[in-house]
């Protein structure tokens, strides 16, 4: 996974959307204590910085040091490179002590994980019985009918042969992802709960977002350019239809959230 984002780490950090504050407020409302977060697969720290405004300490880990290099510094956040596979001793040494974490968060990354291994780590570090895990993903951007139709063709048709095996979980809004946790207090299910994030973009930023995806990089490594000149020309015509250089780009966000309780120790 980490290698897929090395070449475009800077582009990823600059072009990817942030997440709505409502997501973090919702998560915080379900955690009795706000002392420690483990933000897994933090990438360039988009979620970690927002979490640091609510929780006293955030340990933000990733298997890509290159992405961590572009993460913004914050006094409440400790960025930590972790190997793809960690022993129990490495987990406690690199991340946190047993049953010391209030919430584990995963932003736009859990579809990359080997979930049985990850869930054992989650169960080791989360406080009992109120520790919470929250994982979310966003789906395709929404701008206008014309622009969206071009993007969907590029995304669902042209780039599909280059998707990673877990991409279908994103398309399915994490509904079918294995999530063996109990509903948090005040909820009768574990989601997905829907939110929406927005970002003001010009066409160059929008195309940079498209190029920052793993499927685009995989295709490029195989000698395939998904954004050929004719495709970019299509985007330009659609983008310029209303005469506005900058547009609000909306990203639907889908959150799964639960608490420990039915996993074996």
Give all domains of the chain, ordered by start, each with its CATH number: 2-141+165-198+251-259 (3.40.50.150)
pLDDT tens column, 198-235: 999 999 999 999 998 889 999 999 999 999 999 999 99
Yes or no: say if 61 and 80 are a contact pair by the CB < 8 Å rule.
yes
Instruction: Indicate the pLDDT class of residue 16, thresholds 50, 70 and 90.
Output: low
pLDDT above 70: residue 15: no
Name every residue whose Cβ is closer than 8 Å to that of residue 114 and which is 6 or more positions away in sequence: none
pTM of the model: 0.89
Yes or no: say if 136 and 253 are a contact pair by the CB < 8 Å rule.
yes
pLDDT above 80: residue 264: no
What average pLDDT does the segment 71-99 reach?
95
Separation of alpha carbons 97 and 68, rounded Å: 22
Instruction: Indicate the pLDDT class of residue 190, thresholds 50, 70 and 90.
Output: very high
Q: Between vectors from CA 45 to CA 113 and to CA 8, what angle results, nearest 5°?
A: 75
pLDDT above 50: residue 257: yes
pLDDT tens column, 119-134: 999 999 999 989 999 9
| Structure tokens that stand for 129 in this block | 């019985």
The pLDDT value recorded for residue 14 is: 53
């Amino acid at each position: 996974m980490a290698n897929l984002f090395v070449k475009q780490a800077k582009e990823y950090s600059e072009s990817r959307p942030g997440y709505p504050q409502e997501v973090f407020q919702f998560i915080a409302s379900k955690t009795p204590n706000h002392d420690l977060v483990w933000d897994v697969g933090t990438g360039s720290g988009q979620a970690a910085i927002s979490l640091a405004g609510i929780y006293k300490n955030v340990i933000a880990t990733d298997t890509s040091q290159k992405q961590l290099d572009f993460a913004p510094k914050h006094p409440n956040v400790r960025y930590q490179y972790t190997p793809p596979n960690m022993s129990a001793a490495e987990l406690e040494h690199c991340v946190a002590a047993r049953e010391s974490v209030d919430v584990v968060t995963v932003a736009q990354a859990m579809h990359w994980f080997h979930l049985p291994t990850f869930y054992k780590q989650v169960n080791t570090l989360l406080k009992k019985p109120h520790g919470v895990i929250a994982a979310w993903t966003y789906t395709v951007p929404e701008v206008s009918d014309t622009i969206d139709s071009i993007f969907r063709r590029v995304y669902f048709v042209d780039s599909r042969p280059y998707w990673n095996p877990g991409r279908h979980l994103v398309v399915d809004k994490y509904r079918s992802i294995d999530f063996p946790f109990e509903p948090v207090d005040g909820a009768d299910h574990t989601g997905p709960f829907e939110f929406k994030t927005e970002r003001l973009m010009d066409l160059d930023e929008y195309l940079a977002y498209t190029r920052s995806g793993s499927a685009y990089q995989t295709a490029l490594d195989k000698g395939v350019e998904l954004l050929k000149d004719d495709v970019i020309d299509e985007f330009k015509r659609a983008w310029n239809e209303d005469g506005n250089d900058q547009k609000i780009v909306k990203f639907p966000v889908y959150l799964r959230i639960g608490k420990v309780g039915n996993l074996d120790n």
